[in-house]
């Protein structure tokens, strides 16, 4: 699964889990990526797109 939006470039963010005792372990936040059929240059293609781009109308979905 691709964890990068092909429209806006959003990808995984990295940071730390911090427990009650302040022990830090590595973790990642993954974006909500969907595989959709979209119209690109007049032809339908399959793209990996984040839901923010889908909701904002940055992607024209094909039928």
Residue 52: exposure state from Cβ atoms within 10 A (0-12, 13-18, ≥19): middle
Residue 52 domain flag: yes
Q: Decide if 30 contacts 3 (C-beta within 8 A).
A: yes
* Structural domain contains residue 18: no
Please tell me the distance from the alpha carbon of residue 63 to that of residue 58, in angstroms, as a whole number.
16
DSSP label of 51: H
Query: Which pLDDT tens digit goes with each residue over 10-32?
Result: 999 999 999 999 999 999 999 99
pLDDT-wise least confident of 3-7, 17-21, 59-63: 59-63
* 48 is a domain residue: yes
Model-level pTM?
0.78
- Cβ-contact 25, 15 below 8 angstroms: no
51 falls within a domain: yes
Q: What is the CATH number of the domain that holds 63?
A: 2.30.170.40
Q: Is residue 46 part of a domain?
A: yes
Only one residue has tokens 């959709």, namely 36
Q: Report yes or no on 57 lying in a domain.
A: yes
């Amino acid at each position: 699964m691709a964890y990068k939006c092909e429209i806006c470039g959003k990808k995984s963010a990295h940071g730390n889990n911090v427990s009650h005792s302040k022990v830090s372990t590595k973790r990642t936040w993954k974006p909500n990526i969907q595989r959709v059929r979209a119209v690109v240059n007049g032809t339908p293609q399959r793209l990996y797109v984040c839901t923010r781009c889908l909701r904002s109308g940055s992607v024209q979905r094909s039928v």
